[in-house]
Each structure stands twice: as C-alpha cells, then as structure tokens.
Amino acid sequence: MKLKRHIVLPLVMLIYLAVMAIIGYRNHVRYYWPILAASLLIIAALYWSLRKKEQLRQRRQAELDATQYAPYPKEETLKEDSPKAEPNDTQSQD
C-alpha cells in the first residue's frame, strides 16, 4: 500500500510539533498556546489542501484514461467524413 502525501506530510509535521511542544513548554509558556494553535491550523490547512489536490489529480487522470483508450472510429466513418477530391478547375481549355 502506497502512503499518500496528504497523510504522511501532515503526520510528520504533527509529530515534529508534538516534540517541539514538549521541549518548549517550560521555556516560553507565554507564547506556547498561540503558537501551538497556529501550528495546528497550518497543519490542518496543509492536509485539506494536499487532499483536494490529490482528488483533482485522480479525477483528471480518470478523465484522461477514459478518453485515451476510447475505441477508434470505423474506417467507413473516416471515409465518409474525409473531403472528396474535386476536379481541378484551373486547367485551361484549348
């Protein structure tokens, strides 16, 4: 099973945030909660953005696959649609 980018990247950032939150709790308590909340909002926005991008990519690929492998038209249809050769009117008559 292939891990998807919209899951892995926010998860790694969430783990990093948890480690930094544990380390930074005792040092800067005044800035702790606003920075933690802002970081969580950014991670959530990243998740939703990457998820939407992945869905659009899958939809585009499905549409491309559907049109790419469409059956070829029959030869009869091609012959009917091709322009017919008309006689050359530029020749001079003697």
| Segment 11-60, tens digit of pLDDT | 999 999 988 888 877 776 777 888 889 999 999 999 999 999 999 998 98
Q: What amino acid occupies position 18?
A: A
Comparing 78 with 33, the larger pLDDT belongs to: 33
What pLDDT is attached to residue 7? 85
Q: What stretches of 3-87 show up as alpha helix (H) in DSSP?
A: 5-24, 29-68, 75-81
CA distances from 61 to 6, 19, 24, 53, 70 (A): 18, 38, 44, 12, 14
What pLDDT is attached to residue 56? 92
Residues 6+ apart with CB under 8 A from 3: none
Separation of alpha carbons 32 and 34, rounded Å: 6
